Structure 1
Amino acid sequence: MAQNPNNNSGFKFSPWMSIVLVLMIFFTISLVTDGLDLSNPGKTSLSKFNKFLEAGQVEKVTFNNTKATIYLKKAALKDKAHAKVKNDITGKLNVKGPHYIMEIGDVKAFQDSLSKADASGKISEYEKEAESMWGDIISLLLPVILLGALWIFMMRRMSGGSGGGGGQIFSIGKSKAKLFDEKNDTRVTFENVAGLEGAKEEIQEIVEFLKNPEKYTSIGGKIPKGALLVGPPGTGKTLLAKAVAGEAKVPFFSLSGSDFVEMFVGVGASRVRDLFKQAKEKSPAIIFIDEIDAVGRARGKNNMTGANDERENTLNQLLTEMDGFGTNSNVIVLAATNRADVLDKALLRAGRFDRQIYVDLPDIRERKEIFEVHLKPLKKSEELDTEFLAKQTPGFSGADIANVCNEAALIAARNDKKAVDKQDFLDAVDRIVGGLEKKNKIVTPEEKRAIAIHEAGHATVSWMLEHAAPLVKVTIVPRGQSLGAAWYLPEERLIVRPEQMLDEMCATMGGRAAERVIFDKISTGALSDLEKVTRQARAMVTIYGLNEKLGNITYYDSSGQSDYNFSKPYSEDTAKVIDTEISKLIEEQYQRAIDILEHNKEKLTQLADILIEKEVIFKDDLETIFGKRPFDKQDESPVAE
């Protein structure tokens, strides 16, 4: 049988072995010294001993300067006076003895009395034991040894040496970074990172520099000191760092930004120093700090007196270690955050983080690659098309796609299927985006019709507008916190024009407009629609400069580093104009939606009736009522609202 080369066959000493060893030593000593003492000796006085001696009941006496041990004759054990010492601790007859122990006052007088008894034949044997200091020494040293052992044990616990979770008092200033090297089983490689080609190329170059630095230094190039991964949550920043740990043949230190934060003063800076000290000792090495915004937040903003001194000290130490007077060589720092706008400017400058790598949400091609990675461990049907799945998930991050795959597998298992098919993935997308169906929720017929009219209004307006996302599926079954849900087909755009935003706003107001057209009343059901349309209108006016009255101006600071954030960047008069223009935009699109629905009132009612009957309608139902959409596109992907 082949043996594991990593198996360490060396003997490891355990603290429990020392306890067993001590017990074995005592047991051996007991065996050597006339066996185990199972006797049950009693205490007696000098006067009683003299009576035993006069009666000829004493067989043997051994004594030292303080104590005498008395052995009785076998015949004497029949006397009732010795009933308590007749048997040993096991209940058997104690023939061997000893039977009594007695304290001695005057040793010389006691020895003289024994001599007289021996001369008269009343005692068979007596002897004086040799003086030994070992008993006294052990009795004095044993408490000291026990206290010392207890102290060592506590110190090891407090310093983390014994592997315990409590304490850690003496190692509180040590780095908490987890070390990965070529001996660790790190399975994530660049092959496991789908998409993110640009980010992988830059990260891979850093790994390549550490493996083969001469390739770059021979023409005068210098190794980058740091790379900052920035992007929305779930896009694969930490996964990229794990891939670096799997690919690099150098030590890789991984920790979170919050690991530097502690309630004790000076601990954060101490941990930074210790981290870079360890990395320098193992250089070339890579340090990965996840969620660096926990420690790298801009200094001096909203700072109460002394409130952030400890965090700022930690940041100052990090800045010094990355590019200070005594800069560590061959140590590269990778960091990840989704809040680069709050980071300190000194941390972002070249020489510390030479590269800022933006990890964006994946496009349709990258989503297909990500699906192929996450589908590998699943038992899927043969006809499953990953390109179709990529079209169904616009705006999904890598973490969202992993969640979709897992949810689809759970749904298939719940339905007792042997493989995951297309419908399971569609149900998983519905579950994640729209929420769980609540078919048992009590909805009155009047409320159900109002919901149907509302959702039919969205469907009708979006179908009639060129730039609005057309609808694929509508349901009036409550999902999550909403009473109805609609799945649209948004076009993935890199830039958005004003007419596209206005069409989307009009479609969003279609629900409330339908309530006004059919019932001549409005309800609270349009809250989420109003939130969405207000955000869009405010963005058009204050961010993108798409309003004619205000002109080409923006009041948005994309860097988040504005030095004038103590007040609004516009006057009160401008604020009134902004409010007026936002309201004007929304009301114009609301009226536009009403006009569209007035012209298609019968078709709106017909669509709502089908929705009440079936509870779910699809694109085919809309084509039956309205006909084919003239500006429809073939490659479309649904999103729920």
Structure 2
Amino acid sequence: MGQDKKNNSSKNIKTPKFNFYWIYGIVIALFIGYQFFNSESMSSRNLSQNEFKTILSDNDIDKIVIVNRDVADIYIKSDASEKEKHKKNKGSLYSANTPMYYYDFGDLQNFEKELEESKTANSLDFDTANVEKTNILEQIFVYLPFIFLIGLWIYFMRRMSGGGSGGGGGQIFNIGKSKAKLFDQDQKVKTSFKDVAGLEGAKEEVQEIVDFLKSPEKYTSLGGKIPKGALLVGPPGTGKTLLAKAVAGEAEVPFFSLSGSDFVEMFVGVGASRVRDLFKQAQQKSPSIIFIDEIDAIGRARGKNNMTGGNDERENTLNQLLTEMDGFGTDTNVIVLAATNRADVLDKALMRAGRFDRQIYVDLPDLKEREEIFQVHLKPLKLDKGLDVEFLAQQTPGFSGADIANLCNEAALIAARSSKKSVEHQDFLDAVDRIVGGLEKKNKIISPKEKKTIAFHEAGHATASWMLEHAAPLVKVTIVPRGQSLGAAWYLPEERQIVQAEQMLDEMCATLAGRAAEKLIFNKISTGALNDLEKVMRQARAMVTIYGLNDKIGNLTYYDSTGQQDYNFTKPYSEQTAQVIDKEISNIVEEQYQRAIDILNTNKEKLITLAEHLLEKEVIFKKDLETIFGKRPFEIEAEPAKEDEKIEKEQKEEGNI
């Protein structure tokens, strides 16, 4: 047993690995040691002027060697070295071939003259010689800065040529190589279409691309050609990159992923070189997929920025990409996927058929798709049993997939902050408030007068929206400050594909009702309606100049959906038309403002009751408005019609049975 422990301990001892730099260290140490032990200062002693003259007059000197015209090495005769005065001056490394003394004489000419005079006067028999000696160690110290710079240059050149520990993509000689991350058999993507909720139409399009790669003979046997590219277009956060990951996971072919900015570099010609290298690698591993995220970084329309000149690096990269996409044959089975939320700025040559044959629009999810996305992101959470996913989907109109993922995470954080065992329904509602309105600021100091103004402002919004048919129904009103707003109201807008003029006017009227309530109750207006005025101004301008919903301007639009107007510095209408546009916008806003005042004046007592209730509770909900106002007038009228539809549907189902 003891022997086994000994063997194990001997195995665990890590022997140091050999490093070639050790040889450099040993050589330098030996060199320094040689210079140190070979130094004359270890074997000789310095003489003063009087001592030198005494030794010289005693005729004890065998020879004098003048070194570098500066110092005299003095060798003593062998018989004289045994004298007592010389014995005690012998150095530790003294030998017969080394000088016993050295003498710093100063001026060489005077020293030689003095030696000649002494030699003649005292009949001395020593020899003299002049030598030039070089101290290598001193020379190294003189040239040490240059040696350091040369060593530093060699070190960086080795690293830049791939000899260092850094990756090849970051080396100067590999700067033209592609930075694409390769996913193949060794590094598979685990995302599949099951992980992508919603986006049914987009999934069908990309599923066909996967089929192309898996069984191309199915299509080529009929004479069809494999598409060369597909462009995923849509707002941020809708799942374009996730869809590309799912394609990589489903296709089971080499997948090259990179961003459009990976082609951009400060060196001229690098972007084009990386494009060539990327397509070369893809062809070698075909069938394969290339995914370029945020392609607008290099695919922006050419010739729009004259300040960069004709030899723009980004344009060179785009030109090379155009050539490569239309250059390789269809038998290579290389498909290019790209994603962007700025399709309007892409070059027309990039968008044409033969390069990106398909444009797949990935839109914001509708009600049903949001419910499916919630189901995906709620799986990792510990949920309360009473959670209504359909209600959450209704409460999040306009949310993208990324927004819903963030909402689920925020709800979990809010529940954890309260030390709950599961995420409850209220946590999700608080998360919606946090994302839409901002962080609640209960400690913000607001004077009673300001608080009353805010309460009537928010009550004005709630009253008008309750009385207008096409305004979004209210969900919640609060006068607790959130983010940059002092008060807020949450509505549940109807999801419409098209919007009529009456619907836009009702929304504008409800938006202006906050300022109208201040005017009606206090006969004063404040700066708190800035956000409302901005929103109304945008809607009114859109009605007049974009959607053609104004009688004076007529069926005209001054909107360019491509974003590539040829005349960027001129208005597409005359100055006279501009005055008419301004007047019509002002008329629309003022008409809706007066309409809001009339509605609030008619329901003034209920408005005051609602505002006082809001001051007391700080937060009110839809049920509180039903208590004060009753059901919305048009909802009462719509209920019998809905009941008739329900009866008719049941009768049809019975007939089918």
Q: Work out whether the TM-score is over 0.5.
A: yes
Whether 1:301 and 2:325 are equivalent positions in the alignment is no
Asked if residue 340 in structure 1 is aligned to residue 329 in structure 2, the reply is no
The residue that corresponds to 2:157 in the other structure is 155
Q: Does the aligned pair in 1 maintain the 2:75–2:99 contact within 8 Å?
A: no
Paired amino acid for 1:439: K
- Taking structure 1 as reference, are residues 378 and 19 closer, same or farther at Cα in structure 2, changes over 3 Å only? farther
Q: Which amino acid aligns with 1:455?
A: E
Where do residues 112-191 of structure 1 align in structure 2 (5 Å cutoff)?
A: 153-164=155-166, 168-191=171-194
Q: Could you say if the C-alpha distance between residues 484 and 52 of structure 1 is closer, same or farther in structure 2, counting changes exceeding 3 Å? A: farther
- Alignment equivalent of 2:428, drawn from 425, 439, 442: 425
1:512 has 2:515 as partner:
yes
Q: Secondary structure at the match of 1:304?
A: helix
1:631 to partner: Cα distance: 3.3
Point out the more displaced range, 549-558 or 471-480.
Answer: 549-558
CA distance in 2, matches of 1:419, 1:482: 31
Q: Which amino acid aligns with 2:582?
A: D
Where in structure 2 are the equivalents of 1:462-481 lying within 5 Å?
A: 462-481=465-484
Equivalent position amino acid for 1:200 in 2 = K
Q: How does 1:535-574 map to 2 (within 5 A)?
A: 535-574=538-577
Tell me whether 1:621 sits opposite 2:629 in the alignment: no
> One-letter code of the match for 2:43?
K
Task: State the AA in 1 paired with 2:536.
Answer: V
The one-character-per-residue Cα deviations of 1:44-69 (angstroms, maximum 9, x if unpaired) are 5998998999999xxxxxxxxxxxxx
Q: Secondary structure at the match of 1:547?
A: coil
Q: 1:53 to 1:341 in 2, by over 3 A?
A: farther
The aligned residue for residue 60 of structure 1 is: none
Write the distance in 2 (CA, Å) between the matches of 1:21 and 1:372.
64
Q: Is the 8 A contact 2:230 2:337 kept in 1?
A: yes
SS at match of 1:487: strand
The 5-angstrom pairing of residues 449-468 of structure 1 reads 449-468=452-471
CA distance in structure 1 between the aligned counterparts of 2:184 and 2:213, rounded to whole angstroms: 14
Q: Which amino acid in structure 1 is aligned with residue 286 of structure 2?
A: S
Partner of 2:364: 361
Q: 1:189 deviation in Å?
A: 2.1
Pair 167,337 (structure 1): closer, same or farther in 2 beyond 3 Å? closer
The equivalent residue for 2:21 is: 19
CA distance in 1, matches of 2:449, 2:328: 75
Flag the 1:50–1:228 CA change in 2: closer, same or farther, 3 A.
same
How many residues are matched?
Answer: 553
Aligned residue for 2:43? 43
Query: Deviation at 1:169?
Result: 2.3
CA RMSD of aligned residues (A): 3.8
- TM superposition shift of 1:148: 9.6
Corresponding residue number in structure 1 for 2:52: none
Letter in 2 for 1:521: K
Write the distance in 1 (CA, Å) between the matches of 2:397 and 2:96.
94
Measure, in 1, the Cα distance between the counterparts of 2:18 and 2:159.
16
| Corresponding residue of 1:4 | none
- 2:290, 2:335 within 8 Å by CA — same for their partners in 1? yes
Cα shift at 1:308: 6.9
SS in 2 for 1:617: strand
* Equivalent-residue separation in structure 2 for 1:584 and 1:412 (angstroms): 49
Structure 1 position 372 matched with structure 2 position 355:
no
Kindly state the Cα deviation for residue 538 of structure 1 after the two structures are TM-superposed: 1.2
In the alignment, is residue 277 of structure 1 matched against residue 280 of structure 2? yes
Matched, 1:485 2:463: no
Per the normalisation by structure 1, the TM-score is 0.78
Indicate how the Cα distance of structure 1 residues 618 and 224 shifts in structure 2: closer, same or farther if over 3 A, else same: same
User: In 2, are the aligned partners of 1:157 and 1:167 still within 8 Å (CA)?
Assistant: no
Distance 1:194 1:24 in 2: 66
- Give the conservation status (yes or no) of the 8 Å contact 2:76–2:99: no
Q: Secondary structure at the match of 1:509?
A: helix
2:370 corresponds to 1:331: no
Structure 2 distance, partners of 1:596, 1:614, is 24
Please give the secondary structure, in 1, of the residue aligned with 2:356. coil
Residues 321 and 328 in structure 1, CA contact (< 8 A), matched pair in contact too: no
> How far off its partner does 1:264 sit?
2.1
2:391 is aligned, of 388, 401, 404, to 388
Partner amino acid, structure 1, of 2:348: K
Alignment pair present for 1:582 and 2:596: no
Secondary structure of the structure 1 residue equivalent to 2:324: helix
The Cα of 1:102 is off from its aligned counterpart by 4.3
Give the corresponding residue for 1:441: 444
Q: Which amino acid in the other structure matches residue 228 of structure 2? A: K
1:290 matches 2:298: no
CA shift digits 1:97-140 (9 cap, x unpaired): 99999489xxxxxxxxxxxxxxxxxxxxxxxxxxxxxxxxxx9x
Q: How far 1:247 sits from its partner (Å)?
A: 2.3
Relative to structure 1, the CA distance from residue 98 to residue 331 in structure 2 (aligned partners, 3 Å threshold; closer, same or farther) is farther
- Counterpart-to-counterpart distance in 2, 1:285 and 1:239: 18
> What amino acid is the match of 1:223?
I
Between structures 1 and 2, the one with greater helix share: 2
Superposed CA deviations along residues 548-596 of structure 1, whole A, max 9, x for unmatched, are 2222221111122333444222222222222122111111111111110
Q: Report what 2:314 is aligned to.
A: 311
Confirm or deny: 8 A CA contact 2:43 2:94 kept in the other structure: no
Change (3 A) 1:487 1:305: closer
Going from structure 1 to structure 2, the CA distance change for 1:51 and 1:582 (only over 3 Å counts) comes to same
Q: Secondary structure at the match of 1:356?
A: strand
Shift of 1:385: 2.5
> Which letter does structure 1 place at the counterpart of 2:514?
G
CA distance in 1, matches of 2:582, 2:228: 47
User: For 1:17, what is the secondary structure of its paired residue?
Assistant: coil
Per-residue deviation at 1:281?
A: 1.9
Would the aligned equivalents of 1:276 and 1:328 in 2 still touch at CA under 8 Å?
no
Structure-2 separation of matches of 1:280 and 1:395: 41
Unaligned ranges ≥5, structure 2:
1-15, 31-36, 46-60, 63-73, 101-139, 643-657
Identity %, equivalent residues: 75
What is the correspondence of 1:56-95 to structure 2 with a 5 Å cutoff? 85=92
Tell me: CA distance 1:319–1:51, structure 2 relative to 1, closer, same or farther (3 Å): same
Mark the CA change 1:350 to 1:597 in structure 2 (over 3 Å): closer, same or farther.
same
Alignment partners' CA distance in 2, 1:559 and 1:453: 43
Contact 2:457 2:513 in 1 (8 A): yes
TM superposition shift of 1:154 = 2.3
- Per mean C-alpha deviation after superposition, the further-off stretch among 183-192 and 430-439 is 183-192
Offset at residue 284 of structure 1 (A): 1.8
Letter in 2 for 1:606: T
Q: Once the two structures are superposed, what CA deviation does each residue of 1:388-446 show, in whole Å capped at 9, x if it has no partner? A: 22111111001101110111111111111122111111111100000011111111111
1:199 is aligned with what amino acid?
A
What amino acid is aligned across from residue 540 of structure 1 in structure 2? M
Contact persistence 2:244–2:291 (CA under 8 A): yes
1:386 offset after TM fit, Å? 1.9
1:534 pairs with one of 531, 537, 554: 537
Instruction: Check whether the contact 2:440–2:481 (CA below 8 A) recurs between aligned residues.
Output: yes
Partner residue in 2 for 1:220:
223
Question: 1:460 offset after TM fit, Å?
Answer: 0.2
Q: Which residue of 2 aligns with 1:410?
A: 413
Aligned-partner Cα distance in 2 for 1:182–1:482 = 52
Instruction: Name the CA distance, whole Å, in 2 between partners of 1:417 and 1:589.
Output: 47
What residue is the counterpart of 1:501 in the other structure?
Answer: 504
**Which range is displaced more, 337-346 or 267-276?**
267-276
- Stretches of structure 1 that go unaligned for 5 or more consecutive residues are 1-13, 30-36, 57-78, 86-96, 105-138, 636-641
> Aligned-pair distance for 1:464?
0.4
